[in-house]
A and B are shown apart, each in its own frame.
Chain A
Amino acid sequence: MFQAYWYMTKLRVLTGLAYRFEVFASVGTNLILMVASVFLWKAAYSGGSGGSAGMTLHELVTYTIVSILLASLFVTDVQDTIYYKIREGKIVTDFYRPVPLLACYLAEDIGSMLSSLMNKVLPLFLVASLLFGMPLPSSWVGMLLFIPSCLLSYAILWLLSAIVGLVAFWVMELGNMGNVKDAIVRILSGSLVPLWLFPQAVQTISAYLPFQYTYQTPLGIYIGVTGTVEALRAMAIQGVWIAILYAILALFWRHTKSKTLIQGG
Protein backbone atom coordinates (compact mmCIF):
# COMPACT_ATOMS: atom_id res chain seq x y z
CA MET A 1 0.00 0.00 0.00
CA PHE A 2 2.63 2.49 1.10
CA GLN A 3 4.81 1.41 -1.78
CA ALA A 4 2.25 2.69 -4.27
CA TYR A 5 2.36 6.17 -2.74
CA TRP A 6 6.14 6.15 -2.60
CA TYR A 7 6.22 5.24 -6.28
CA MET A 8 3.99 8.21 -7.19
CA THR A 9 6.14 10.50 -5.05
CA LYS A 10 9.35 9.27 -6.67
CA LEU A 11 7.90 9.67 -10.16
CA ARG A 12 7.03 13.28 -9.37
CA VAL A 13 10.53 13.99 -8.03
CA LEU A 14 11.96 12.80 -11.33
CA THR A 15 9.57 14.80 -13.53
CA GLY A 16 10.19 17.85 -11.37
CA LEU A 17 13.89 17.59 -12.01
CA ALA A 18 13.38 17.26 -15.76
CA TYR A 19 11.81 20.69 -16.36
CA ARG A 20 14.78 23.04 -16.36
CA PHE A 21 12.99 26.03 -17.89
CA GLU A 22 10.22 25.94 -15.35
CA VAL A 23 12.84 25.85 -12.60
CA PHE A 24 14.66 28.83 -14.02
CA ALA A 25 11.41 30.81 -14.18
CA SER A 26 10.55 30.05 -10.59
CA VAL A 27 13.98 30.87 -9.18
CA GLY A 28 14.27 34.10 -11.21
CA THR A 29 10.80 35.32 -10.34
CA ASN A 30 11.21 34.58 -6.66
CA LEU A 31 14.60 36.26 -6.66
CA ILE A 32 13.08 39.48 -7.99
CA LEU A 33 10.35 39.30 -5.38
CA MET A 34 12.98 38.75 -2.71
CA VAL A 35 15.25 41.61 -3.79
CA ALA A 36 12.32 44.03 -4.13
CA SER A 37 10.87 43.12 -0.72
CA VAL A 38 14.20 43.36 1.09
CA PHE A 39 14.96 46.81 -0.34
CA LEU A 40 11.40 47.91 0.44
CA TRP A 41 12.01 47.01 4.10
CA LYS A 42 15.43 48.66 4.04
CA ALA A 43 13.84 51.89 2.76
CA ALA A 44 11.19 51.64 5.46
CA TYR A 45 13.81 51.22 8.19
CA SER A 46 16.35 53.78 6.94
CA GLY A 47 16.71 56.61 9.44
CA GLY A 48 16.14 54.27 12.36
CA SER A 49 12.36 54.63 12.66
CA GLY A 50 11.70 50.91 12.94
CA GLY A 51 10.93 50.98 16.67
CA SER A 52 7.17 51.01 16.21
CA ALA A 53 7.19 47.66 14.46
CA GLY A 54 8.46 45.67 17.42
CA MET A 55 10.99 43.85 15.26
CA THR A 56 14.41 44.69 13.89
CA LEU A 57 15.25 45.10 10.22
CA HIS A 58 17.33 41.93 10.39
CA GLU A 59 14.38 39.95 11.75
CA LEU A 60 12.06 41.31 9.10
CA VAL A 61 14.51 40.57 6.26
CA THR A 62 14.95 37.01 7.56
CA TYR A 63 11.16 36.70 7.80
CA THR A 64 10.74 37.82 4.17
CA ILE A 65 13.47 35.60 2.77
CA VAL A 66 12.32 32.46 4.61
CA SER A 67 8.72 33.25 3.62
CA ILE A 68 9.68 33.24 -0.07
CA LEU A 69 11.65 30.02 0.42
CA LEU A 70 8.61 28.41 2.04
CA ALA A 71 6.34 29.65 -0.75
CA SER A 72 8.47 27.92 -3.38
CA LEU A 73 8.62 24.79 -1.23
CA PHE A 74 4.92 24.42 -0.43
CA VAL A 75 3.53 22.82 -3.58
CA THR A 76 -0.26 22.45 -3.52
CA ASP A 77 -1.03 21.49 -7.10
CA VAL A 78 -4.03 19.44 -6.03
CA GLN A 79 -6.58 22.11 -7.00
CA ASP A 80 -5.19 22.37 -10.54
CA THR A 81 -4.75 18.60 -10.81
CA ILE A 82 -8.42 17.97 -10.02
CA TYR A 83 -9.50 20.78 -12.34
CA TYR A 84 -7.55 19.48 -15.35
CA LYS A 85 -8.47 15.86 -14.71
CA ILE A 86 -12.14 16.85 -14.79
CA ARG A 87 -11.83 19.05 -17.87
CA GLU A 88 -10.08 16.33 -19.81
CA GLY A 89 -12.18 13.50 -18.43
CA LYS A 90 -9.14 11.78 -16.96
CA ILE A 91 -10.70 11.73 -13.51
CA VAL A 92 -12.59 8.59 -14.55
CA THR A 93 -9.46 6.49 -14.94
CA ASP A 94 -8.10 7.85 -11.67
CA PHE A 95 -11.19 6.54 -9.91
CA TYR A 96 -10.24 3.05 -11.04
CA ARG A 97 -7.08 3.17 -8.96
CA PRO A 98 -7.24 0.86 -5.94
CA VAL A 99 -5.88 3.59 -3.64
CA PRO A 100 -7.75 6.65 -2.38
CA LEU A 101 -7.63 9.37 -5.02
CA LEU A 102 -6.84 12.34 -2.79
CA ALA A 103 -4.03 10.44 -1.11
CA CYS A 104 -2.53 9.87 -4.57
CA TYR A 105 -2.60 13.57 -5.29
CA LEU A 106 -1.00 14.26 -1.91
CA ALA A 107 1.78 11.77 -2.69
CA GLU A 108 2.39 13.54 -6.01
CA ASP A 109 2.51 16.97 -4.38
CA ILE A 110 5.00 15.71 -1.83
CA GLY A 111 7.13 14.46 -4.71
CA SER A 112 7.00 17.90 -6.33
CA MET A 113 8.02 19.40 -3.01
CA LEU A 114 11.05 17.18 -2.73
CA SER A 115 12.25 18.19 -6.19
CA SER A 116 11.52 21.86 -5.42
CA LEU A 117 13.66 21.55 -2.32
CA MET A 118 16.62 20.58 -4.47
CA ASN A 119 16.23 22.74 -7.55
CA LYS A 120 14.34 25.81 -6.33
CA VAL A 121 14.74 26.32 -2.59
CA LEU A 122 18.43 25.45 -2.46
CA PRO A 123 19.57 27.85 -5.22
CA LEU A 124 17.34 30.60 -3.79
CA PHE A 125 18.80 30.01 -0.33
CA LEU A 126 22.34 30.23 -1.67
CA VAL A 127 21.73 33.44 -3.64
CA ALA A 128 19.90 35.01 -0.69
CA SER A 129 22.79 34.10 1.61
CA LEU A 130 25.26 35.71 -0.79
CA LEU A 131 23.23 38.89 -1.22
CA PHE A 132 21.85 39.48 2.26
CA GLY A 133 23.67 37.09 4.59
CA MET A 134 22.46 33.68 5.64
CA PRO A 135 18.92 33.87 7.07
CA LEU A 136 19.59 31.94 10.27
CA PRO A 137 16.96 31.09 12.91
CA SER A 138 17.09 32.99 16.19
CA SER A 139 17.81 29.91 18.31
CA TRP A 140 18.05 26.12 18.29
CA VAL A 141 14.70 25.82 20.02
CA GLY A 142 13.22 28.04 17.33
CA MET A 143 14.64 25.82 14.60
CA LEU A 144 13.37 22.65 16.30
CA LEU A 145 9.85 24.06 16.64
CA PHE A 146 9.93 25.60 13.15
CA ILE A 147 10.06 22.26 11.33
CA PRO A 148 6.94 20.59 12.83
CA SER A 149 5.11 23.91 12.53
CA CYS A 150 5.97 24.00 8.81
CA LEU A 151 4.56 20.52 8.35
CA LEU A 152 1.32 21.59 10.01
CA SER A 153 1.25 24.73 7.82
CA TYR A 154 1.61 22.62 4.72
CA ALA A 155 -1.26 20.39 5.84
CA ILE A 156 -3.53 23.44 6.20
CA LEU A 157 -2.52 24.82 2.78
CA TRP A 158 -2.99 21.47 1.10
CA LEU A 159 -6.43 20.89 2.61
CA LEU A 160 -7.57 24.39 1.54
CA SER A 161 -6.32 23.68 -1.96
CA ALA A 162 -8.09 20.30 -2.11
CA ILE A 163 -11.37 21.85 -0.97
CA VAL A 164 -11.17 24.52 -3.70
CA GLY A 165 -10.31 21.77 -6.19
CA LEU A 166 -13.46 19.84 -5.31
CA VAL A 167 -15.55 22.85 -6.29
CA ALA A 168 -14.55 22.02 -9.88
CA PHE A 169 -16.70 18.90 -9.68
CA TRP A 170 -19.75 21.08 -9.19
CA VAL A 171 -19.16 23.98 -11.56
CA MET A 172 -17.17 22.20 -14.31
CA GLU A 173 -15.25 25.38 -15.18
CA LEU A 174 -13.26 26.52 -12.18
CA GLY A 175 -11.39 29.22 -14.10
CA ASN A 176 -9.01 30.98 -11.84
CA MET A 177 -10.76 30.41 -8.53
CA GLY A 178 -7.61 28.66 -7.31
CA ASN A 179 -5.64 31.83 -7.92
CA VAL A 180 -8.27 33.89 -6.12
CA LYS A 181 -7.76 31.67 -3.09
CA ASP A 182 -3.99 31.98 -3.46
CA ALA A 183 -4.24 35.78 -3.60
CA ILE A 184 -6.28 35.83 -0.37
CA VAL A 185 -3.87 33.42 1.32
CA ARG A 186 -0.90 35.58 0.31
CA ILE A 187 -2.30 38.64 2.08
CA LEU A 188 -3.92 37.10 5.15
CA SER A 189 -1.19 34.55 5.86
CA GLY A 190 1.31 37.32 6.51
CA SER A 191 3.58 35.91 3.82
CA LEU A 192 4.33 39.36 2.35
CA VAL A 193 3.83 41.66 5.32
CA PRO A 194 3.55 40.17 8.83
CA LEU A 195 0.07 40.57 10.25
CA TRP A 196 1.55 42.23 13.35
CA LEU A 197 1.93 45.34 11.21
CA PHE A 198 -1.69 45.29 10.02
CA PRO A 199 -4.44 47.44 11.59
CA GLN A 200 -5.84 45.94 14.79
CA ALA A 201 -9.24 45.10 13.30
CA VAL A 202 -7.67 42.93 10.58
CA GLN A 203 -5.55 41.15 13.18
CA THR A 204 -8.61 40.40 15.30
CA ILE A 205 -10.55 38.95 12.37
CA SER A 206 -7.64 36.91 11.05
CA ALA A 207 -7.11 35.28 14.45
CA TYR A 208 -10.33 33.37 13.68
CA LEU A 209 -9.26 32.39 10.15
CA PRO A 210 -6.87 29.59 9.17
CA PHE A 211 -4.61 31.74 6.95
CA GLN A 212 -2.22 33.26 9.49
CA TYR A 213 -1.41 29.75 10.74
CA THR A 214 0.12 28.86 7.37
CA TYR A 215 3.00 31.32 7.05
CA GLN A 216 3.10 33.66 10.01
CA THR A 217 3.17 30.94 12.68
CA PRO A 218 6.29 29.07 11.52
CA LEU A 219 8.02 32.32 10.47
CA GLY A 220 7.35 33.97 13.83
CA ILE A 221 8.88 30.93 15.53
CA TYR A 222 11.87 31.02 13.17
CA ILE A 223 12.82 34.63 13.82
CA GLY A 224 12.11 34.29 17.54
CA VAL A 225 9.28 36.80 17.84
CA THR A 226 7.00 33.97 18.99
CA GLY A 227 8.19 32.48 22.30
CA THR A 228 8.23 28.74 23.07
CA VAL A 229 4.95 28.64 25.02
CA GLU A 230 3.20 30.80 22.43
CA ALA A 231 4.63 28.62 19.68
CA LEU A 232 3.19 25.45 21.23
CA ARG A 233 -0.17 27.17 21.59
CA ALA A 234 -0.09 28.28 17.94
CA MET A 235 0.77 24.75 16.86
CA ALA A 236 -2.22 23.43 18.80
CA ILE A 237 -4.42 25.88 16.88
CA GLN A 238 -2.83 24.64 13.65
CA GLY A 239 -3.85 21.14 14.68
CA VAL A 240 -7.43 22.25 15.31
CA TRP A 241 -7.61 23.86 11.87
CA ILE A 242 -6.29 20.70 10.24
CA ALA A 243 -9.02 18.69 11.97
CA ILE A 244 -11.73 21.14 10.88
CA LEU A 245 -10.55 21.34 7.28
CA TYR A 246 -10.08 17.59 7.08
CA ALA A 247 -13.66 17.05 8.26
CA ILE A 248 -14.95 19.51 5.65
CA LEU A 249 -12.92 17.84 2.91
CA ALA A 250 -14.05 14.33 3.90
CA LEU A 251 -17.70 15.36 3.97
CA PHE A 252 -17.46 17.26 0.72
CA TRP A 253 -15.59 14.42 -0.95
CA ARG A 254 -18.27 11.86 -0.05
CA HIS A 255 -20.97 14.01 -1.64
CA THR A 256 -18.82 14.84 -4.65
CA LYS A 257 -17.99 11.22 -5.41
CA SER A 258 -21.62 10.18 -5.59
CA LYS A 259 -22.39 13.20 -7.78
CA THR A 260 -19.67 12.29 -10.27
CA LEU A 261 -20.88 8.73 -10.55
CA ILE A 262 -24.34 9.96 -11.46
CA GLN A 263 -22.91 12.28 -14.08
CA GLY A 264 -20.80 9.53 -15.56
CA GLY A 265 -23.95 7.49 -16.04
Chain B
Amino acid sequence: MATIRHYYSVAACFARLAIQRQLEYPLFLFSWLLMIPIQYFSGIWMLKIIVDRFQPLNGWDFPELAFIYGLGLLSHGINVVLFINTWHMDGMVIDGAFDRLLLRPMNVFFQLIASYFNFIGLIDLIPGVLIFAYGCHLVGFEWTMMNIIKIILVIIGGVLIRAALFITLGTIAFWTKRNASMVGFALSMLERGTMYPLNIFPNLIQLLFTFLVPIGFITFYPAIEFLGKSGEFGLPVRIALWTPVIGILCFWLSQRMFKFGLKNYESAGS
Protein backbone atom coordinates (compact mmCIF):
# COMPACT_ATOMS: atom_id res chain seq x y z
CA MET B 1 0.00 0.00 0.00
CA ALA B 2 2.80 2.37 0.93
CA THR B 3 4.55 1.43 -2.31
CA ILE B 4 1.50 2.28 -4.37
CA ARG B 5 1.18 5.63 -2.64
CA HIS B 6 4.85 6.29 -3.23
CA TYR B 7 4.57 5.44 -6.95
CA TYR B 8 1.47 7.58 -7.22
CA SER B 9 3.17 10.61 -5.69
CA VAL B 10 6.14 10.25 -8.03
CA ALA B 11 3.83 9.98 -11.05
CA ALA B 12 1.87 13.04 -9.93
CA CYS B 13 5.07 15.04 -9.50
CA PHE B 14 6.35 13.99 -12.92
CA ALA B 15 3.01 14.90 -14.48
CA ARG B 16 3.01 18.37 -12.94
CA LEU B 17 6.51 19.07 -14.24
CA ALA B 18 5.66 17.75 -17.70
CA ILE B 19 2.53 19.90 -17.97
CA GLN B 20 4.43 23.00 -16.89
CA ARG B 21 7.09 22.29 -19.48
CA GLN B 22 4.52 21.95 -22.22
CA LEU B 23 2.74 25.17 -21.33
CA GLU B 24 5.93 27.20 -21.57
CA TYR B 25 5.43 28.21 -25.19
CA PRO B 26 1.82 29.19 -25.94
CA LEU B 27 2.25 29.15 -29.71
CA PHE B 28 3.59 25.61 -29.52
CA LEU B 29 0.41 24.45 -27.82
CA PHE B 30 -1.70 26.52 -30.19
CA SER B 31 -0.08 25.02 -33.28
CA TRP B 32 -0.93 21.52 -32.06
CA LEU B 33 -4.44 22.67 -31.28
CA LEU B 34 -4.75 23.73 -34.92
CA MET B 35 -2.94 20.85 -36.55
CA ILE B 36 -4.40 17.75 -34.89
CA PRO B 37 -8.07 18.65 -35.47
CA ILE B 38 -7.34 19.78 -39.06
CA GLN B 39 -5.59 16.50 -39.73
CA TYR B 40 -8.31 14.20 -38.39
CA PHE B 41 -11.40 16.18 -39.33
CA SER B 42 -10.10 16.41 -42.88
CA GLY B 43 -9.40 12.66 -42.79
CA ILE B 44 -13.01 11.81 -42.02
CA TRP B 45 -14.20 14.50 -44.44
CA MET B 46 -12.19 12.82 -47.25
CA LEU B 47 -13.95 9.54 -46.45
CA LYS B 48 -17.31 11.32 -46.62
CA ILE B 49 -16.44 12.80 -50.00
CA ILE B 50 -15.41 9.40 -51.34
CA VAL B 51 -18.55 7.64 -50.06
CA ASP B 52 -20.82 10.45 -51.33
CA ARG B 53 -19.27 10.35 -54.77
CA PHE B 54 -19.06 6.60 -55.09
CA GLN B 55 -20.62 4.03 -52.78
CA PRO B 56 -20.17 2.48 -49.33
CA LEU B 57 -16.68 0.97 -49.04
CA ASN B 58 -17.12 -2.81 -49.16
CA GLY B 59 -20.46 -2.49 -47.40
CA TRP B 60 -19.40 0.19 -44.89
CA ASP B 61 -21.42 3.38 -45.22
CA PHE B 62 -20.41 6.79 -43.86
CA PRO B 63 -21.94 6.48 -40.35
CA GLU B 64 -20.14 3.17 -39.85
CA LEU B 65 -16.89 4.65 -41.18
CA ALA B 66 -17.23 7.55 -38.72
CA PHE B 67 -17.80 5.06 -35.88
CA ILE B 68 -14.66 3.06 -36.71
CA TYR B 69 -12.58 6.21 -37.36
CA GLY B 70 -13.60 7.73 -34.01
CA LEU B 71 -13.04 4.50 -32.11
CA GLY B 72 -9.52 4.28 -33.53
CA LEU B 73 -8.76 7.87 -32.56
CA LEU B 74 -9.86 7.34 -28.95
CA SER B 75 -7.35 4.59 -28.22
CA HIS B 76 -4.74 6.48 -30.25
CA GLY B 77 -5.31 9.60 -28.12
CA ILE B 78 -5.01 7.80 -24.79
CA ASN B 79 -1.90 6.01 -26.03
CA VAL B 80 -0.35 9.34 -27.02
CA VAL B 81 -1.10 10.82 -23.58
CA LEU B 82 0.24 7.94 -21.49
CA PHE B 83 2.81 6.08 -23.55
CA ILE B 84 4.49 8.64 -25.81
CA ASN B 85 7.89 8.00 -24.21
CA THR B 86 7.88 4.50 -25.74
CA TRP B 87 8.12 6.23 -29.15
CA HIS B 88 11.60 7.61 -28.63
CA MET B 89 13.37 5.12 -26.47
CA ASP B 90 16.23 5.08 -28.97
CA GLY B 91 16.85 8.78 -28.32
CA MET B 92 16.94 8.11 -24.57
CA VAL B 93 19.36 5.23 -25.04
CA ILE B 94 21.69 7.34 -27.17
CA ASP B 95 21.81 10.48 -25.05
CA GLY B 96 22.08 8.51 -21.82
CA ALA B 97 18.71 9.57 -20.37
CA PHE B 98 17.81 5.91 -20.13
CA ASP B 99 20.79 5.15 -17.87
CA ARG B 100 19.39 7.61 -15.36
CA LEU B 101 16.24 5.52 -15.01
CA LEU B 102 18.32 2.46 -14.18
CA LEU B 103 19.99 4.19 -11.25
CA ARG B 104 16.79 4.93 -9.38
CA PRO B 105 15.26 2.34 -7.05
CA MET B 106 11.99 2.10 -8.92
CA ASN B 107 10.47 0.02 -11.65
CA VAL B 108 12.17 1.07 -14.89
CA PHE B 109 9.12 0.75 -17.11
CA PHE B 110 7.03 2.78 -14.66
CA GLN B 111 9.63 5.55 -14.69
CA LEU B 112 9.79 5.45 -18.47
CA ILE B 113 6.09 6.10 -18.99
CA ALA B 114 5.50 8.24 -15.88
CA SER B 115 8.29 10.66 -16.66
CA TYR B 116 6.36 12.28 -19.47
CA PHE B 117 2.65 12.89 -19.10
CA ASN B 118 1.84 14.19 -22.56
CA PHE B 119 -0.59 16.98 -21.87
CA ILE B 120 -0.60 18.04 -25.52
CA GLY B 121 -1.73 14.54 -26.43
CA LEU B 122 -5.11 15.33 -24.91
CA ILE B 123 -5.70 17.38 -28.06
CA ASP B 124 -5.78 14.13 -30.03
CA LEU B 125 -8.83 13.16 -28.00
CA ILE B 126 -10.87 16.19 -29.13
CA PRO B 127 -11.45 15.00 -32.71
CA GLY B 128 -11.61 11.45 -31.34
CA VAL B 129 -14.48 12.15 -28.97
CA LEU B 130 -16.36 14.33 -31.47
CA ILE B 131 -16.06 11.94 -34.42
CA PHE B 132 -16.90 8.91 -32.28
CA ALA B 133 -19.95 10.63 -30.74
CA TYR B 134 -21.09 11.70 -34.20
CA GLY B 135 -20.59 8.18 -35.55
CA CYS B 136 -22.51 6.67 -32.62
CA HIS B 137 -25.33 9.14 -33.23
CA LEU B 138 -25.47 8.31 -36.94
CA VAL B 139 -25.47 4.53 -36.52
CA GLY B 140 -28.00 4.77 -33.68
CA PHE B 141 -25.66 3.19 -31.13
CA GLU B 142 -27.54 1.98 -28.05
CA TRP B 143 -25.99 3.34 -24.86
CA THR B 144 -26.94 0.40 -22.65
CA MET B 145 -24.87 -0.39 -19.56
CA MET B 146 -23.54 -3.52 -21.26
CA ASN B 147 -22.47 -1.61 -24.38
CA ILE B 148 -20.77 1.14 -22.38
CA ILE B 149 -18.74 -1.42 -20.42
CA LYS B 150 -17.83 -3.18 -23.66
CA ILE B 151 -16.74 0.05 -25.37
CA ILE B 152 -14.55 0.95 -22.38
CA LEU B 153 -12.97 -2.51 -22.41
CA VAL B 154 -12.40 -2.28 -26.16
CA ILE B 155 -10.72 1.13 -25.82
CA ILE B 156 -8.48 -0.15 -22.99
CA GLY B 157 -7.62 -3.18 -25.09
CA GLY B 158 -6.84 -0.96 -28.06
CA VAL B 159 -4.54 1.22 -25.98
CA LEU B 160 -2.72 -1.87 -24.72
CA ILE B 161 -2.27 -3.33 -28.23
CA ARG B 162 -0.87 -0.01 -29.47
CA ALA B 163 1.40 0.36 -26.43
CA ALA B 164 2.66 -3.22 -26.77
CA LEU B 165 3.68 -2.56 -30.37
CA PHE B 166 5.68 0.54 -29.45
CA ILE B 167 7.27 -1.11 -26.40
CA THR B 168 8.40 -4.01 -28.56
CA LEU B 169 9.84 -1.65 -31.17
CA GLY B 170 11.46 0.47 -28.46
CA THR B 171 13.08 -2.59 -26.92
CA ILE B 172 14.83 -3.21 -30.23
CA ALA B 173 16.68 0.05 -29.61
CA PHE B 174 18.47 -1.64 -26.67
CA TRP B 175 20.38 -3.61 -29.27
CA THR B 176 20.40 -1.42 -32.36
CA LYS B 177 20.41 2.04 -30.66
CA ARG B 178 18.23 3.26 -33.52
CA ASN B 179 14.60 2.60 -34.32
CA ALA B 180 13.05 5.97 -35.14
CA SER B 181 12.35 4.75 -38.65
CA MET B 182 10.29 1.85 -37.33
CA VAL B 183 8.23 4.09 -35.07
CA GLY B 184 7.20 6.28 -38.00
CA PHE B 185 6.39 3.17 -39.98
CA ALA B 186 4.32 1.68 -37.13
CA LEU B 187 2.44 4.94 -36.66
CA SER B 188 1.28 5.13 -40.24
CA MET B 189 0.50 1.41 -40.23
CA LEU B 190 -1.68 1.86 -37.14
CA GLU B 191 -3.38 4.91 -38.60
CA ARG B 192 -4.30 3.31 -41.93
CA GLY B 193 -5.07 -0.07 -40.37
CA THR B 194 -7.44 1.16 -37.67
CA MET B 195 -9.30 4.04 -39.32
CA TYR B 196 -10.48 2.16 -42.38
CA PRO B 197 -12.38 -1.14 -42.29
CA LEU B 198 -9.85 -3.92 -42.70
CA ASN B 199 -11.85 -5.71 -45.37
CA ILE B 200 -11.01 -3.14 -48.06
CA PHE B 201 -7.48 -4.60 -48.03
CA PRO B 202 -6.39 -7.87 -49.68
CA ASN B 203 -6.67 -11.09 -47.66
CA LEU B 204 -2.94 -11.24 -46.99
CA ILE B 205 -2.96 -7.88 -45.22
CA GLN B 206 -6.11 -8.85 -43.29
CA LEU B 207 -4.49 -12.07 -42.08
CA LEU B 208 -1.36 -10.14 -41.12
CA PHE B 209 -3.36 -7.58 -39.12
CA THR B 210 -5.38 -10.30 -37.40
CA PHE B 211 -2.85 -12.89 -36.37
CA LEU B 212 0.65 -11.38 -36.60
CA VAL B 213 0.21 -7.72 -35.62
CA PRO B 214 -3.34 -7.82 -34.21
CA ILE B 215 -4.30 -4.23 -34.95
CA GLY B 216 -7.56 -5.43 -36.51
CA PHE B 217 -8.80 -5.91 -32.95
CA ILE B 218 -8.34 -2.23 -32.11
CA THR B 219 -11.33 -1.11 -34.18
CA PHE B 220 -12.35 -3.46 -36.98
CA TYR B 221 -13.49 -6.59 -35.13
CA PRO B 222 -15.21 -4.71 -32.29
CA ALA B 223 -16.99 -2.55 -34.88
CA ILE B 224 -18.19 -5.67 -36.65
CA GLU B 225 -19.96 -6.77 -33.49
CA PHE B 226 -21.29 -3.38 -32.41
CA LEU B 227 -22.61 -2.62 -35.89
CA GLY B 228 -23.91 -6.14 -36.51
CA LYS B 229 -21.78 -6.82 -39.61
CA SER B 230 -20.69 -10.25 -40.77
CA GLY B 231 -17.45 -11.65 -39.33
CA GLU B 232 -14.29 -12.64 -41.13
CA PHE B 233 -12.09 -15.73 -41.00
CA GLY B 234 -14.84 -17.62 -39.16
CA LEU B 235 -14.07 -15.85 -35.90
CA PRO B 236 -16.78 -16.35 -33.26
CA VAL B 237 -19.50 -13.75 -32.92
CA ARG B 238 -18.60 -12.07 -29.66
CA ILE B 239 -15.36 -10.71 -31.00
CA ALA B 240 -15.54 -7.31 -29.30
CA LEU B 241 -14.44 -8.79 -26.00
CA TRP B 242 -11.42 -10.39 -27.61
CA THR B 243 -9.85 -6.93 -27.80
CA PRO B 244 -9.10 -6.52 -24.05
CA VAL B 245 -7.91 -10.15 -23.85
CA ILE B 246 -5.56 -9.73 -26.80
CA GLY B 247 -4.52 -6.33 -25.44
CA ILE B 248 -3.50 -7.81 -22.10
CA LEU B 249 -1.72 -10.70 -23.80
CA CYS B 250 0.23 -8.39 -26.14
CA PHE B 251 1.10 -6.04 -23.31
CA TRP B 252 2.32 -8.93 -21.14
CA LEU B 253 4.46 -10.24 -23.98
CA SER B 254 5.93 -6.79 -24.62
CA GLN B 255 6.78 -6.49 -20.90
CA ARG B 256 8.65 -9.80 -21.11
CA MET B 257 10.51 -8.46 -24.15
CA PHE B 258 11.30 -5.24 -22.29
CA LYS B 259 12.68 -7.10 -19.24
CA PHE B 260 14.70 -9.37 -21.50
CA GLY B 261 16.08 -6.39 -23.41
CA LEU B 262 16.93 -4.65 -20.16
CA LYS B 263 19.03 -7.61 -19.06
CA ASN B 264 21.06 -7.38 -22.23
CA TYR B 265 21.20 -3.61 -22.19
CA GLU B 266 24.55 -1.95 -22.63
CA SER B 267 24.79 1.74 -22.18
CA ALA B 268 25.59 3.77 -25.28
CA GLY B 269 28.19 5.38 -23.04
CA SER B 270 27.89 9.12 -22.95
Name B199's closest neighbour in chain A (CB-CB). A43
Q: Is the CB of A52 within 8 A of B31?
A: no
For B42, list chain A residues within 8 Å (CB): 183, 186-187
**B interface, over-half SS:** helix
Q: How near does chain A come to B88, taking the closest CB pair, in angstroms?
A: 13
Q: In this assembly, does A148 line the interface, its C-beta being within 8 Å of a C-beta of chain B? A: no
Q: In this assembly, does A171 line the interface, its C-beta being within 8 Å of a C-beta of chain B? A: yes
Q: In this assembly, does B150 line the interface, its C-beta being within 8 Å of a C-beta of chain A? A: no
For the complex, what is the distance from the CA of A183 to the CA of B178, rounded to whole Å? 28
Name B181's closest neighbour in chain A (CB-CB). A25
For the complex, what is the distance from the CA of A52 to the CA of B55, rounded to whole Å? 10
Q: Is the CB of B49 within 8 A of A198?
A: yes
For A29, list chain B residues within 8 Å (CB): 184-185, 187-188
Quick one: given A29-B185, A36-B192, are A53 and B53 in contact (CB under 8 Å)? yes
Q: In this assembly, does B237 line the interface, its C-beta being within 8 Å of a C-beta of chain A? A: no
For A173, list chain B residues within 8 Å (CB): 25, 27-28
Name B55's closest neighbour in chain A (CB-CB). A49
Q: Return the CB mask of B1-31 against A: 1 if under 8 Å, else 0.
A: 0000000000000000000000001011111
Report the contact-size class of chain B (Cβ under 8 Å from the partner): 35 or more
Q: How near does chain B come to A168, taking the closest CB pair, in angstroms?
A: 10
Q: In this assembly, does B227 line the interface, its C-beta being within 8 Å of a C-beta of chain A? A: no
Q: Is the CB of A176 within 8 A of B35?
A: yes
For B46, list chain A residues within 8 Å (CB): 187, 192-193
Name A184's closest neighbour in chain B (CB-CB). B38
Q: How near does chain A come to B256, taking the closest CB pair, in angstroms?
A: 26
Q: Return the CB mask of B178-202 against A: 1 if under 8 Å, else 0.
A: 1011101101110010001000111
For the complex, what is the distance from the CA of A45 to the CA of B185, rounded to whole Å? 28
Report the contact-size class of chain A (Cβ under 8 Å from the partner): 35 or more
Q: Is the CB of A43 within 8 A of B185?
A: no
Q: Is the CB of B28 within 8 A of A197?
A: no
Quick one: given A29-B185, A183-B35, are A197 and B192 in contact (CB under 8 Å)? no
Q: Is the CB of B31 within 8 A of A175?
A: yes
Q: Is the CB of B28 within 8 A of A175?
A: yes
Q: In this assembly, does B264 line the interface, its C-beta being within 8 Å of a C-beta of chain A? A: no
Quick one: given A29-B185, A52-B53, A193-B49, are A180 and B38 in contact (CB under 8 Å)? yes
Q: In this assembly, does A50 line the interface, its C-beta being within 8 Å of a C-beta of chain B? A: yes
Q: In this assembly, does A174 line the interface, its C-beta being within 8 Å of a C-beta of chain B? A: yes
Q: Is the CB of B35 within 8 A of A179?
A: yes
For A21, list chain B residues within 8 Å (CB): 178, 180-181
For the complex, what is the distance from the CA of A171 to the CA of B172, rounded to whole Å? 39
Q: Which of A22, A32, A46 contacts B189 (CB 8 A)?
A: A32
For the complex, what is the distance from the CA of A40 to the CA of B58, rounded to whole Å? 10
Q: Which of A33, A183, A199 contacts B39 (CB 8 A)?
A: A183
For B110, list chain A residues within 8 Å (CB): none
For the complex, what is the distance from the CA of A184 to the CA of B200, rounded to whole Å? 27
For the complex, what is the distance from the CA of A32 to the CA of B186, rounded to whole Å? 10
Q: In this assembly, does A10 line the interface, its C-beta being within 8 Å of a C-beta of chain B? A: no
Chain B interface residues toward A at CB < 8 A: 25, 27-32, 34-35, 38-39, 42, 45-46, 49-51, 53-55, 57-58, 178, 180-182, 184-185, 187-189, 192, 196, 200-202, 205
Chain A interface residues toward B at CB < 8 A: 21-22, 24-25, 28-29, 32-33, 35-36, 39-40, 42-47, 49-50, 52-53, 171, 173-177, 179-180, 183-184, 186-187, 192-193, 197-199
What are 8 pairs between A and B in contact, CB < 8 Å? A21-B178, A36-B192, A44-B50, A174-B31, A175-B25, A180-B34, A183-B38, A184-B38
Top 8 closest pairs, chain A to chain B, by CB? A25-B181, A175-B28, A175-B31, A176-B31, A36-B192, A44-B54, A43-B200, A43-B57
